[in-house]
């Protein structure tokens, strides 16, 4: 990683009682260290407040708190994009058999046959958090008028996914069980991160 080196006399000139460092006003911008996603994850012992520019995602990243509550064993801090408000994380168009899936190319989708739901995952370093993300689902195709979509959160070890279920209202009315009323469906989805500041 490259370090920003500032002459000692310049630091003395820039310091003021109400600030730690002032690089001064000029036409030359400051350039942050530029790292790939894998390089960012390999930074040894990152400190809270570190900033870098992610060359894979073309945006600034910071090492900061991201969990709403303390979680046993798992860290509450990680590298994540700096966001000032609701931000689209991922989007996709998915057919019922997963043969033709298009979208933002930063997600995975699979059919969980035993539970009869779809499992949506985000590529590293992103994960799904139901308390801070908005997942919008629209079923598409023939017979979708009586389908009721619902989402949930799946935790597998240290990984988190979204579950997407489609329940057939007519099957429920006919007395089918909760599991039997679920069915495959084509759908569109959009996932937003609703955080306005780091947790």
pLDDT score of 10:
46
Q: Please, what is the average pLDDT of the chain? A: 81
Q: What is the rounded (10 degree) CA torsion for 177, 178, 180, 183?
A: 150
The token duo for 108 is: 């995975």
**What are the pLDDT digits (tens) for 62-99?**
998 765 555 445 567 888 877 666 778 889 999 999 98
Q: Which residues contact 48 (CB under 8 A, 6 or more apart)?
A: 63, 64, 65, 77
Name the pLDDT band for 119 (thresholds 50, 70, 90).
Answer: very high
Q: Kindly state the tokens that stand for 67.
A: 């969990």
pLDDT in tens, 19-56: 677 777 777 788 889 999 899 999 999 998 899 998 88
CB 87 within 8 A of CB 192: yes
Average pLDDT for 130-138: 89
Evaluate whether 80 touches 65 at the Cβ level (below 8 Å): no
């Amino acid at each position: 990683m490259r370090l920003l080196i500032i002459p000692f006399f310049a630091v003395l000139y820039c310091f003021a009682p109400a600030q730690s460092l002032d690089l001064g006003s000029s036409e030359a911008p400051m350039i942050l260290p530029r790292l790939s996603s894998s390089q960012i994850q390999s930074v040894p012992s990152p400190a809270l407040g570190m900033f870098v520019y992610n060359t894979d995602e073309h945006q600034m990243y910071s090492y900061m708190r991201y969990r709403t509550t303390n979680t046993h064993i798992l860290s509450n801090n990680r590298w994540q994009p700096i966001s000032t408000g609701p931000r689209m994380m991922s989007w996709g168009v998915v057919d019922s058999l997963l043969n033709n899936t298009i979208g933002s190319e930063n997600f995975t989708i699979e059919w969980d046959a035993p539970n009869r739901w779809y499992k949506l995952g985000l590529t590293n370093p992103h994960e799904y958090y139901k308390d801070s993300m908005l997942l919008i689902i629209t079923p598409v195709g023939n017979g979708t008028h009586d389908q009721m979509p619902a989402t949930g959160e799946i935790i597998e070890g240290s990984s988190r996914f979204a579950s997407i279920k489609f329940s057939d209202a007519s099957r429920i009315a006919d007395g089918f069980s909760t599991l039997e009323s679920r069915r495959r469906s084509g759908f569109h989805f959009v996932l937003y991160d609703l955080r306005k500041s780091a947790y």
